[in-house]
Amino acid sequence: MDTFFSGFSIELPENEIPQLLTIDGIKAVYPDVEYETGTVGEEIPITEEEFSPHMLDSGPFIGNEDAFDLGFTGDGVTVAVIDTGVDYTHPDLASSFGSYKGYDFVDNDEDPQETPPGDPRGNQTNHGTHVAGTVAGNGLVTGIAPDADLLAYRVLGPGGSGTTANVIAGIERAVLDGADIMNLSLGNTLNDPDFATSIALDQAMADGVVAVTSNGNSGPNNWTVGSPGTSRDAISVGATQLPFPEYSAALSSGSASFDSAEVMGFPSELELLRLNDGDFEVVDVGIGAPEDFEDVDVEGKIALMVRGDLPFVEKADNAEAAGATGAIIFNNVAGEQPDVPGLSVPTIKLSLEDGQQLQSQITQGNNTVSFDLDFEREVGETVADFSSRGPVMNTWMIKPDVSAPGVAIVSTVPTHDSSNPHGYSSMQGTSMASPHVAGAAALLLEADPNASVDHVRSALMNTAESLYDADGNAYPFNTQGTGSIRLVEALTVDSTVSPGSHSFGIFTEEDGIQTKRSSFTINNVSDQRQAYGFDIEFHGNPSGITAMSSSDIALQPGDSGEVRLNIQVNPDLLEQDYYEGTITVQSLTDTIEVPTILFVGEPDYPRITSLNVLETDEINEFDVVANVPRGAEELGFWVYDAQTGEYLVLQIRIPT
């Protein structure tokens, strides 16, 4: 790589790696770690006959149809999909590709097609095609920017995994091929802003290419964002679930009631509420595999299944195929079961104890159940539990930057069958959220082809909708970023504030009372003079934090102005924690809220972010390699016998 990332990949014995750093001109060495696509749970295939435009609810929710009405469809903008390849023959995507499709870094040719079935190196892929459909589908699937041009770069091969070297090569090639935007719905687990892929995206942004990447699927804990979502400048995207109705559930069989009953999922409210119509015969079908239904009549009945062996989605699909009206799935261990939106039959979940009790009822001949399902409330757009959280180590930046729909997203997938090329599927993950933002960026660049990457990033961040959990509590900034993107608001913004979020870093008792200075830039992108006022407030107004900003300013159309911030922190008056605040910029037409954060004391980041145990040539001797991002005064390991659980007294040598 020599255009914007100055480096090369090399294969050599690991004991020679330290010698690389002794060579003049080599500044850093990175492991060629594995990257994977970011999806959660099982993919739900959808046939062309089953497909309905109503399934495409995420685009209209964030405003793509309203953007179309304004005349913006992504025309003239090129988006690079850096992924598992793309099925450029798919009827919904073919018009988005020209004669040059992109590049395949797995097989080193200009045919970036998805991995087909039967590849001896691993499983077939469809991830990149799904991403591409969300960006620019133009058929049964309508993407966020349906008239955008696409380029595909296959950097993840069979099974959906790839290497650092290929990802960086794909980024560089996309820039050289003239992409305006790149989408990377992929990542690793390294929370490191200085890892190679994060640096590559920083440079792509510096070169004027809008870089959008998924934040990761390792939530809901903090510090789970991985590279390249840790990039300083790229737009990192978290995943949300669209609003949904919540129902209470009561289940009884004769005189027995099952207090653990809850709604797991359903295809429609109408089908769910039909379970209130009288008693239903319930049939125990074991784990719910296809063969469990072969000699059993469940037509118009309820299928009782135990959790395990098969995904919940498959169990519900098998029940529907056998004619069941609904399903009950009970746990196979103590604890909770997840909600699974969009199951093909109305499905109620039970605890292990209640499920076994219902089985006993059936054995005794009490094989009817009745339901009492009531609407409880409408839950608004919420952050998906799996969505990775920030902040980023070392820079202490807030990540994600923004969020977008990423649960049960229907889009294109390859069929590898030219006689039946219409393939569709529902997937979820931050991989599905990121292309919503890449498509949004295409609309913004069509609206203003001269817009800077900073404008695109800031317009999306400044106009995002703040998100609240099901109980009405605002999500932390490290969970939602600035919120969920809204296309029309971003397209029609009068002012932007850059950067769109801010971190003041760490304050410690050892340093006493400290003052830090920072600044942000206001851009007047309207056609009239704008006056601006500022305010900065930390949530809860904690004593020990004093914030000040410069005086109000006024800007002529097209002008920019710098606003200075001073913050004074007395750690002695504050608990060791992180503190969120909001910088509010107000004009006659806009109110922009910019998230900020600071840390008092050592942040609660993971002390070890990766750990590998490597065999050596000696018997019972191993090398243990740990990534300790902030260093350590002491590093210890507790090692136990795998068979007996007995603690082993070992000789551990830690080189300095």
- Other C-beta atoms closer than 10 Å to the C-beta of 314 total 17
Query: Are residues 304 and 285 in contact, defined by beta-carbon separation less than 8 angstroms?
Result: yes
Query: Are residues 258 and 358 in contact, defined by beta-carbon separation less than 8 angstroms?
Result: yes
Q: Kindly name the residue from 58, 90, 104, 127 that is annotated as catalytic.
A: 127
Q: Please indicate whether residue 431 is annotated as part of the active site.
A: yes
Q: Among all chains, which residue has been given the structure tokens 């804990």?
A: 221
Q: Among all chains, which residue has been given the structure tokens 């910088």?
A: 583
Conformational region of residue 243, where left means phi above 0, alpha means psi within -120 to 50, and beta covers everything else: beta
Alpha-carbon distance of 636 to 651, in angstroms, equals 11
> Which residue stretches of 221-311 are H helix?
269-273
Burial of 553 (0-12, 13-18, 19+ CB in 10 A): middle
Conformational region of residue 500, where left means phi above 0, alpha means psi within -120 to 50, and beta covers everything else: alpha
Query: Which one-letter amino acid corresponds to residue 286?
Result: G
Closest CA to 229 of 67, 368, 460, 401: 401
User: Which is it for strands 149-154 and 102-104: parallel, antiparallel or unpaired?
Assistant: parallel
Point out which residues pair with 548 in neighbouring strands.
566
Q: Could you tell me which residues come within 8 angstroms of residue 404 by beta carbon, excluding any fewer than 6 positions away? A: 58, 62, 237, 238, 239, 240, 433, 434, 436, 437, 440, 484, 485
Q: Please indicate whether residue 277 is annotated as part of the active site.
A: no
Structure tokens at 630: 């902030």
What order do you get walking across the sheet with 424-427 strand by strand? 44-46, 424-427, 409-412
Closest CA to 187 of 210, 160, 207, 206: 160
Burial of 155 (0-12, 13-18, 19+ CB in 10 A): buried
Helix (H, G, I), strand (E, B) or coil at 198: helix
The continuous run of DSSP H or E covering 480 comes out as: helix 477-480
Q: Among all chains, which residue has been given the structure tokens 């069979």?
A: 158
Closest CA to 584 of 537, 521, 518: 537
From residue 94, alpha-carbon distances to 97, 274, 434, 502 in Å are 6, 42, 21, 41
Q: Please indicate whether residue 119 is annotated as part of the active site.
A: no
Q: Among all chains, which residue has been given the structure tokens 């991830």?
A: 127
Alpha-carbon distance of 41 to 343, in angstroms, equals 13
Burial of 263 (0-12, 13-18, 19+ CB in 10 A): buried
Burial of 84 (0-12, 13-18, 19+ CB in 10 A): buried
Q: Kindly name the residue from 431, 434, 495, 503 that is annotated as catalytic.
A: 431
Structure tokens at 50: 């089953």
Alpha-carbon distance of 420 to 1, in angstroms, equals 40
Active site residues per annotation = 83, 127, 431
